[in-house]
Structure 1
Amino acid sequence: MPDSPALDVRGLTVRYVGTVAVHDLDLTIPAGQTVALLGANGAGKSSVVNAVLGLITPAAGAVRVLGRTPHDAVRSGCVGAMLQHGGLPGEARVGEVLDLVRRSYPTSWPLDDLVVTAGIDGLLARPVDALSGGQRQRVLLALALAGAPPLLLLDEPTSAMDVEGRRAFWTTMRGLAGGGHTVVFATHHLEEADAVADRVVVVADGLVVADGSTAQVKARVAGRTIAFTATPGRRLEGLPAVTGVTRQGTTVTLATADADATLRALLADGGLPDLEVRGATLEDAVLSIVRDHPIGAAR
């Protein structure tokens, strides 16, 4: 079904022993998008991913993956998953595991290209137990890509990677998205979501509480922050429109509802060394949106 969305979730409700993890959630993702699922631990992100993979049976609602049921989509190789707690057989070598997984799909990603795409060159002969945390994540990515899936689901994919590894990983993801793959990832690294996602979906209390581009989500938080190096004894009391003051060493950060008014008052009182004025970050926006969400109101 070429016109079907990559993911279509309608009225999804997930319960665990009387606890509602996801409540009547709707989410549609067109093919080719890169989407970040954001939210605190326990918000329901992993439950949504598990329902899409057919690993849990929802209490209510329907999930379609490229026009198919989750089980049919997974069996046909339409979905690749890199889960937060993915397991690997410890005594096997990377190449053996990869060969086994590739053989399970009707169409597999060509090995040489898969090795380059996942960044595991030189690791095929290495025992799984000898992998570093970042290398292990790369191998899990290769396994997720083994069936050349049009939809890729990633749950905290860079949690064990260093800065260099994370940058290389997202370069790979951009390449996959550019090739037409749909990438859906859950992460706590909001700077990554801001940098690579076409769209962010914020989940709180099992509900979607924000959905849009990073610019649209950040725009929901009013105000600016003004940071500068303050000289000893400089007075900051009574500044117009300031809603919060933070000091870290000689650096002062002001939250303000009217940056122009605050800056005029500051400049009238002296210089502003190392001045920086910025809008809300994605982290600021997500924290504000989740904080203002009435927990449990929809139950």
Structure 2
Amino acid sequence: MPLARAIEATRRYGANLALDGVTLDIPEGGVVGMLGPNGAGKSTLISLLVGLRRPTSGRVELFGGDPRDPACRREIGVTPQETGLPSTLRVHECVAFVAAHYADPVPTGDLLDRFGLADLARRQTGGLSGGEKRRLAVALAFVGRPRLVFLDEPTTGLDVRARRALWDTIRDFGRAHTVVLTSHYLEEIEALADRVVVLGQGRVLADDTVASIRGMVGIHRVSLTAPDLPDLPNVVGLERVDGRTSLFTADADQLVRDLVHAGVPFHGLQVQPTTLEEAFLTLTGR
């Protein structure tokens, strides 16, 4: 049985459809990356899986039960996108407070060492930088030795060096835990995830290995104005808007050469990488 699952889960906020019939299993072991642009439904899906919200239709399960049941939430750890920390508590006090809720927590000193926070142990959380607060928020998700950890945009606000340091720590913890993390950074998902779920407009657009996803998102949009176009090789999608034609291809340079070789009169040529959502909507024909 999967640790968590969504079955045809839909979530509406008034007229806004945030999730549209999502079905997803989270098996035990490894790191599952949820990738997609802002507004794709990543945070909403996590909020359902951890019991903060209920689906409008469909259902979600956590360890085989209802995520809103406190007994089902005892073995999860969560870092939401925004975390409020008591500003007057010192870092070690904050960790100790959370650890007191668990029968066998990770020792405070060990946890602070693993997340590079040992030198900040006696600092009040109100005096930490944004990046330091984020590292502490992620560390707190692992205090109780959870079976399943949800990290929602864990590196938000971190500079490049701090982000990569946190990647190393998450990767280490991922060997002993099941981790679900969301990000709109393809590089971050590539660095951490064993499996990638791509969300767009509230739907699952792809669910595959990192290597497969990397190949699928290498799509470019070649946009131009031309009176007519012949059939061209290596074109995976086509779109016409306001007199301009956009061709979707994995090899933009070759496509331009094919256009010239075919003698197609065109102007206003633009070559752009597609967004993740465009790439997967094109590839899935949706």
Shorter-chain-normalised TM-score: which range?
0.7 to 0.9
Indicate yes or no: 2:204 matched with 1:205: no
**What is the aligned length?**
252
1:256 pairs with one of 244, 251, 258? 251
1:165-221 alpha-carbon deviations (Å, 9 max, x no partner): 111111111111222x11111112211111221111111121101110122123335
Aligned pairs (5 A) from 1:152-191: 152-179=149-176, 181-191=177-187
Q: Which residue in 2 is equivalent to 1:288?
A: 279
**CA displacement, residues 52-88 of structure 1 (integer Å, 9 cap, x when unaligned):** 1111121122222232321346765311111111111
**Which residue of structure 2 lines up, in the alignment, with residue 142 of structure 1?**
139
Query: Is 1:50 matched up with 2:41?
Result: no
Task: Tell me, yes or no, if the aligned pair for 1:13 and 1:23 is still in contact at 8 Å.
Answer: yes
Instruction: Give the deviation of 1:285 after TM superposition.
Output: 5.3
Distance 1:183 1:222 in 2: 26
Q: Is it true that 1:8 corresponds to 2:44 in the alignment?
A: no
TM-score, normalised with respect to structure 2: 0.77
1:2-56 superposed Cα distances (whole Å, 9 cap, x missing partner): xx32222111111112322112110012111211111122111111010111111
Q: Distance in 1 between matches of 2:110 and 2:116?
A: 10
* Aligned equivalents of 1:262, 1:144: Cα separation in 2: 52
Alpha carbons 1:256, 1:262 under 8 Å: kept: no
Aligned in 2, Cα 1:90/1:224: closer, same or farther, shift over 3 Å? closer
- Does residue 104 of structure 1 match 2:101? yes
- Verify the 8 A CA contact 1:102 1:147 in the aligned structure 2: yes
User: What code does the residue aligned with 1:24 have?
Assistant: G
The letter for the 1-side match of 2:5 is D
Name the CA shift for 1:223/1:45 in 2 (closer, same or farther; >3 Å): closer
8 Å contact kept, 1:241–1:258 = no
Q: 1:73 to 1:258 in 2, by over 3 A?
A: farther
Q: Of residues 62, 65, 69 in structure 2, which corresponds to 1:65?
A: 62
SS where residue 71 of structure 1 aligns? Answer: coil
1:79-90 to 2 correspondences below 5 Å: 79-90=76-87
Cα distance in 2, alignment partners of residues 5 and 46 from structure 1: 20
- Relative to structure 1, is the Cα distance of residues 65 and 10 closer, same or farther in structure 2, using a 3 angstrom cutoff? same
Which residue of structure 2 lines up, in the alignment, with residue 278 of structure 1?
none
* Cα shift at 1:155: 0.9
What TM-score do you get using the length of structure 1 for normalisation?
0.74
Distance 1:154 1:74, change over 3 A: farther
Contact 1:114–1:146 (CA under 8 A) maintained in structure 2: yes
Give the residue type in structure 2 aligned to 1:183.
V
**What amino acid maps onto 1:106 in structure 2?**
A
* 2:245 corresponds to: none
Matched, 1:92 2:83: no
SS of match in other structure, 1:5:
coil
**Whole-angstrom distance in 1 between the partners of 2:158 and 2:54:** 32
Give the counterpart letter for 2:79 in structure 1.
Answer: M
Return 5+ residue gaps in structure 2 as ranges: 222-231, 236-248, 261-272
Find the aligned partners of 1:242 and 1:12 in 2 and give their Cα distance: 36
2:147 maps to a residue whose letter is P
List alignment gaps of at least 5 residues for structure 1. Answer: 226-239, 244-253, 266-280
Q: What is the one-letter code of the residue matched to 1:152? A: V
Query: Equivalents in 2 of 1:213, 1:54: separation in Å?
Result: 27
SS in 1 for 2:133: helix
**Superposed displacement of residue 262, structure 1:** 5.9
- Whether the 8 Å contact between 2:35 and 2:185 is mirrored in structure 1 is no
Q: Percent identity?
A: 36
The residue type paired with residue 137 of structure 2 is L
Is the 1:82–1:144 contact (alpha carbons within 8 Å) kept by the matching residues of 2?
A: yes
Q: Look up the match of 2:75.
A: 78
Q: Write the letter of the residue equivalent to 1:69.
A: D
How many angstroms apart in 1 are the aligned matches of 2:127 and 2:72?
30
SS of match in other structure, 1:154: strand
Matching of residues 36-47 of structure 1 within 5 Å: 36-47=33-44
